[in-house]
A and B are shown apart, each in its own frame.
Chain A
Amino acid sequence: MSGRKTSNWWTFWGILILIWAAFPLLWMVSLSFKDPTTFRSAEPSFFPQEWTWTNYETVFSDELFTSALRNSFGIAIIATAISVVIAMFASYAIARLDFRGKKLLLSMALGIAMFPQAALVGPLFNMWRGLGIYDTWIGLIIPYLTFALPLSIWTMSAFFRQIPWEMEQAAQVDGATAWQAFRKVIVPLAAPGVFTTAILTFFFCWNEFLLAISLTSTDRARTVPAALSFFTGASQFESPVTAVMAASVVVTIPVVILVLLFQRRIVAGLTAGAVKG
């Protein structure tokens, strides 16, 4: 009986928290379907009285948004790919090899992760203009890598450490070169870790706002979070709120898809059965 009671409590709190967390999201979706001219009507309602795609049409016909979407995808994917590859090698080295300055490297990585980004914006702005990479993709990818790498290295080296040494030694005895052992044994075993890290990095780059708005000025490199703040409605006299909401829904979709797609891969446990459990 008491077990039943507690599980009821869990359900109750679970639903409460779910509503709490989902409310803004639902509100966002609902707003994005409301008519931009009449959404501030006299009798407010949670759901739109009239469902309309106008806002989506507005955002997708707006060059500001579509170019921002392109930039966002490009920059996030490139930054993620580079960061994952570098982090994979770096964390393998950290987990497996003994080299001088390992501790220093790790603590520096942590230090960078803790460093307030806001403090860097000013200097970066000046440096990037001097170097001529202000308002370019590369100008955003570089600082994204800086902030994404430490976290990636820390997460991935934890995954590499879990893989028994003997896997690799067995591969070497079986005739594999160090590279083959890494590629055919270590990487597949570390795949959940690699995916987790890749997704985290992608989210970071996708959602980043501060650097995106400070280091860009035009459509060339402005990403969606930054572009949203420049939104106006279809005309000057229209409130942009519903259009902004539609754009927000659009940028949320890739994140949701990614999580749904990889949630099983994120769950570790692939090494079960490697050694006597």
Chain B
Amino acid sequence: MAEITMKNVVKKYGDGFPAVNDVSLDIADGEFMILVGPSGCGKSTLLRMIVGLEDITSGDMLIGGKRVNDQAPRDRNLAMVFQNYALYPHLSVFENIAFPLRLRKNLPEEEIRKKVEAAAETLELTEHLDRKPGNLSGGQRQRVAMGRAIVRDADAFLFDEPLSNLDAKLRGQMRTEILRMQRRLGITTVYVTHDQTEAMTLGDRVALLRKGEIQQVATPRELYEHPVNMFVAGFIGSPPMNFVPAESIDGQLKLPFVTFDLPAEMREAVGDRHHVIVGIRPERFDDASVIDDAHRGGGITFPVDVEVVEWLGNEQFAYIPYDVDDELTSGLSELEKELDSERMRSQLVVALDPSSRVTDQSKAEIWFDPRHLHIFDVDSGENLTNEVVVAPAATA
């Protein structure tokens, strides 16, 4: 049990490239903290700095209040599950789990056996104890790796993308398994992933990194509803948030496909900016024809030409192209690149109610509530409306 504190931690590689840049993070005792971000954002490096496999260039790393910068990994009493499990192939499952215990001096054989069997019991590995890791399935290997971690009463668990080698179904199961185990043991956990579903479902809090810098540390809900900038807004959510260049003219917001009055609070936040980027999550839109009148009041509707519709049973997505000056989208394409997606063209992704009968190549009326949109600064990408709480419209 321990809290982990990072103060202005920096990791520079030989060529001076900062893989982790000035990260400060407090992880409370017993907290499940997720480090998430696109590949190359430094999340794994940060984890390896916590465990001691990477040197810390500058800054302080404290575990349980003690500075550990200069401690070897074995003195930090942390348990880590590696991406490809790193099981010892020459040892049986029993010996794999017992390995950390055997390294401690004067631990009686009897006690080792008891602890290993208890761990195996929790992970349902009892019948596999005599087998070699090479003969186990992916999920079983994963559990052995976890067994090796839980057997030793470590101060914290560290996971480095532990589920990325499993197939989709197993991944879902193991995710719940990890969550259940963490809740029961109540051990501080740091979990690195690039998968936002894992990030959102597992974490008490999520730290989103970009190019070695922390963008936002918040609960998953906070991250989704109040992203601090366009990067966070674009990373969290699937399909990703729509970013639309817009002009603010006399209290009105002019989008390529609709112009409407801004709520007063937002108007204030936008200030005298002329160009802004508007972010709207696909699920905030809907087909106007399936919205009942009680809901409709606060929102606005506009006509569109639907290009393609994808129906998935529990939801459906419509793709709606629109025209916009290339000049205005130049900043956006850079962001897209960072988020590992290609910006093919200007289009709106809209999640519709599955009962909606909108079809490909048809005209439709789309509804959305302006209170749910985010407005970002064009240059800094900062969310201008983050603190704005718009009063519910009178009709709602």
Tell me the A residues contacting B by CB distance below 8 Å: 164, 166-167, 169-177, 180, 184-185, 188-189, 191, 270-276
Contact = CB atoms under 8 A, between A and B. Distances in A.
Nearest to A163: B89
A172 B72 contact: yes
A171 B89 contact: no
Interface string B51-64: 11100000000000
B239 interface: no
A276 B138 contact: yes
A177 B74 contact: yes
Contact of B90 (A170, A270, A275): A270
A275 B86 contact: yes
A186 to B, nearest CB: 10
A176 B84 contact: no
B82 A169 contact: yes
A188 B77 CA distance: 25
B72 A166 contact: no
A272 B135 CA distance: 9
Nearest to B91: A188
19 contacts: A164-B84, A172-B52, A172-B74, A173-B73, A173-B74, A174-B103, A175-B103, A176-B74, A177-B72, A177-B74, A189-B88, A270-B89, A271-B89, A273-B87, A273-B136, A274-B89, A274-B133, A275-B86, A276-B138
Contact of A272 (B51, B74, B85, B134): B134
B225 to A, nearest CB: 37
A169 B48 CA distance: 10
Q: Please give me the 5 A-B residue pairs with the lowest Cβ-Cβ distance, nearest first.
A: A273-B134, A170-B86, A275-B84, A166-B86, A174-B100
A276 B85 contact: yes
B63 to A, nearest CB: 13
Interface string B2-31: 000000000000000000000000000000
Given A273-B133, A273-B134, A276-B141, A176 B103 contact: yes
Nearest to A277: B134
A175 B100 contact: yes
Given A172-B74, A189-B90, A273-B135, 20 more contacts: A166-B82, A169-B82, A169-B86, A170-B80, A170-B82, A172-B53, A173-B52, A173-B73, A174-B99, A174-B148, A175-B77, A175-B100, A188-B90, A191-B90, A270-B90, A272-B134, A273-B87, A275-B87, A276-B85, A276-B165
A191 B91 CA distance: 14
A83 B19 CA distance: 41
B102 to A, nearest CB: 8
Give the one of B83, B103, B136 with max A CB within 10 A.
B103
A227 to B, nearest CB: 42
A191 B90 CA distance: 10
Nearest to A189: B90
B86 A164 contact: yes
B88 A185 contact: yes
A175 B132 CA distance: 22
Contacts of A164: 84, 86
Given A174-B99, A175-B103, A270-B90, A169 B53 contact: yes
A254 B293 CA distance: 95
A32 B148 CA distance: 60
Contacts of A171: 88, 99
Contacts of A174: 74, 79, 99-100, 103, 148, 152
Contacts of A188: 90
Contacts of A184: 99
Contact of A273 (B72, B77, B89, B103): B89
Contacts of B51: 173
Interface string B122-153: 00000000001111101001000000100010
B134 to A, nearest CB: 2
B288 interface: no
B192 to A, nearest CB: 14
Nearest to B131: A273
Contacts of A270: 89-90
A276 B152 CA distance: 24
Interface in B76-111: 77-80, 82-90, 99-100, 103-104
Contacts of B90: 188-189, 191, 270
Contacts of B152: 174-175
B212 to A, nearest CB: 21
Give the one of A172, A189, A274 with max B CB within 10 A.
A274
A187 B86 CA distance: 16
A274 B86 contact: yes
Contact of B87 (A172, A191, A274): A274
A167 to B, nearest CB: 6
A170 B73 CA distance: 10
Contacts of B78: 173
B150 to A, nearest CB: 12
A272 B133 CA distance: 9
B86 A175 contact: no
